[in-house]
């Protein structure tokens, strides 16, 4: 993994001076960043024991969880597994999504993981009730095919005990969007057969050499203070789309507080070049750009030596065409002096994704420190949650139904 700052708009010395102001070397510790305390061997063994029991009977796992309870695992699954059929995700209460997934699965060979830090997430609890009822209707033993993940002592913990089902704990000090290196992300990763050791090694590598994450935060902050309050993340890979979803939650929920915040905006190369690139290059200069390129792919396709219509692509691979498109976007942004940080990934792997997850979690906490906001919690989200609960308790629809 290479993180390149030559087009970021400020000299590295500016980043170092800014970081010295917040004593950045003392930020990288569990008391400030709880997620940097990666799981112990004992914790990993507990997860593996549950997974081994599930794998004895089941070939698929449905992960039921909202936001940070599923996005990290879903991003890893898409990037590394190219969405193989071992994992399914219910990360929205949309009835059409539920119907589609429940029709796809083989109920006799499918297990379910219900993930909620609080154990009271409305959408997760609603979907869980539907699934548990269906298991009973089908006369399928519940305890052997479900697992619950959450804070110790929460309602999921109690329900797991009642059912005789396994429960895996999320460390209390680690919030949902920072939980990809806990059972939240590792349970699905183990079940799908991903190399969790390499995933954690990627995270450890960032922690050993964290300067790129610190520089990223400093660069984004200086541009934020200069009026660039939109943060673009644009990987040139279809299989990093879910990573952009994970990033959007991390950046928005952690920093969008007290009237402040840097709005995350997602794009995918090359498809987004045909929709939003015009705005990036020739629109308002209010954006900070993060471009990602994957240098080695699982497969590539060579074009005919004598290509029709566009002779200059003859004999090239699609990977080479994509690289040229990436360089073209970078060139266009440079011409307009747009600030860009570039990520060069050797390939999409567990190691690379572990590094990226940790880099951005460290960066967002440093950014929050610079901004003077608390990166943990999402108090404004609770406003809507409380109102939704009131509507459901009172049997009202909020006046929206016609």
Per-residue DSSP letter, 77: H
Q: Which residue among the candidates 253, 266, 316, 350 is catalytic per the annotation?
A: 253
Q: Residue 202 in contact with residue 358, Cβ under 8 Å?
A: yes
Query: What's the token pair of residue 16?
Result: 């170092």
Per-residue DSSP letter, 289: E
Could you identify the residue written with the tokens 């010395």? 13
Which are the contacts of 218, defined by CB distance < 8 A and separation ≥ 6?
14, 15, 16, 18, 19, 366, 370
The Cα 353–Cα 347 span in angstroms is 10
Q: Locate the DSSP E strands across 209-329.
A: 230-236, 263-266, 287-296
The strand pairing partners of 87, in sequence order, are 61
Q: Residue 137 in contact with residue 103, Cβ under 8 Å?
A: no
The strand pairing partners of 148, in sequence order, are 114, 167
Q: Is 385 a catalytic residue?
A: yes
DSSP string, 105-147: S-GGGEEEEEE-SSS--HHHHHHHHHHHHHHHHTT--SGGGEE
Q: Which residue among the candidates 139, 274, 306, 394 is catalytic per the annotation?
A: 274
Give start and end residues of each alpha helix (H) in 256-317. Answer: 277-282
* Burial bucket for residue 46 (CB in 10 Å: 0-12, 13-18, 19+): middle
* Burial bucket for residue 232 (CB in 10 Å: 0-12, 13-18, 19+): buried
Dihedral over Cα of 209, 210, 215, 220: its sign: positive
Instruction: For residue 20, give the 3-state DSSP assignment.
Output: helix
Residues with active-site annotation: 253, 274, 385
């Amino acid at each position: 993994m290479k993180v390149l700052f030559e087009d970021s708009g400020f000299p590295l010395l500016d980043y170092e001076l800014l970081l010295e102001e917040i004593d950045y070397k003392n930020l990288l510790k569990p008391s400030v960043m709880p997620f940097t305390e990666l799981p112990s061997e004992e914790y990993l063994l507990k997860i593996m024991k549950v997974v081994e029991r599930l794998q004895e009977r089941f070939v698929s796992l449905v992960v039921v969880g909202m936001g940070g309870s599923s996005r990290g695992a879903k991003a890893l699954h898409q990037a590394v597994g190219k969405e193989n059929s071992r994992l399914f995700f219910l990360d929205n209460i949309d009835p059409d999504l539920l119907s589609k997934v429940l029709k796809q699965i083989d109920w006799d060979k499918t297990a379910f993981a219900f993930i909620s830090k609080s154990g009271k997430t409305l959408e997760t609890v609603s979907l869980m009730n539907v699934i548990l009822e269906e298991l009973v209707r089908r006369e399928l033993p519940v305890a052997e095919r479900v697992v619950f993940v959450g804070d110790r002592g929460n309602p999921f913990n109690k329900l797991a005990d009642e059912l005789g089902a396994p429960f895996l704990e999320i460390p209390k000090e680690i919030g949902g969007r920072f939980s990809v290196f806990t059972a939240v992300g590792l349970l699905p990763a183990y079940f799908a057969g991903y190399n969790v050791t390499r995933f954690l090694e990627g995270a450890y590598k960032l922690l050993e050499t964290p300067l790129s994450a610190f520089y990223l935060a400093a660069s984004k902050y200086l541009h934020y203070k200069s009026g660039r309050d939109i943060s673009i993340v644009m990987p040139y890979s279809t299989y990093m789309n879910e990573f952009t979803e994970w990033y959007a939650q991390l950046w928005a929920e952690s920093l969008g507080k007290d009237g402040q915040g840097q709005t995350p905006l997602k794009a995918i190369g090359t498809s987004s070049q045909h929709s939003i690139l015009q705005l990036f290059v020739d629109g308002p200069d209010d954006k900070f750009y993060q471009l990602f390129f994957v240098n080695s792919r699982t497969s590539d396709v060579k074009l005919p030596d004598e290509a029709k219509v566009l002779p200059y692509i003859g004999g090239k691979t699609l990977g080479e065409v994509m690289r040229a498109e990436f360089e073209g976007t970078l060139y266009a942004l440079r011409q307009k002096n747009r600030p860009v940080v570039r990520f060069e990934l050797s390939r999409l792997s567990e190691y690379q994704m572990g590094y990226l997850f940790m880099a951005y979690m460290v960066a967002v906490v440093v950014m929050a420190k610079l901004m003077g906001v608390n990166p943990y919690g999402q108090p404004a989200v609770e406003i809507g949650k409380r109102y939704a609960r009131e509507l459901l308790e009172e049997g009202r629809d909020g006046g929206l139904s016609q």
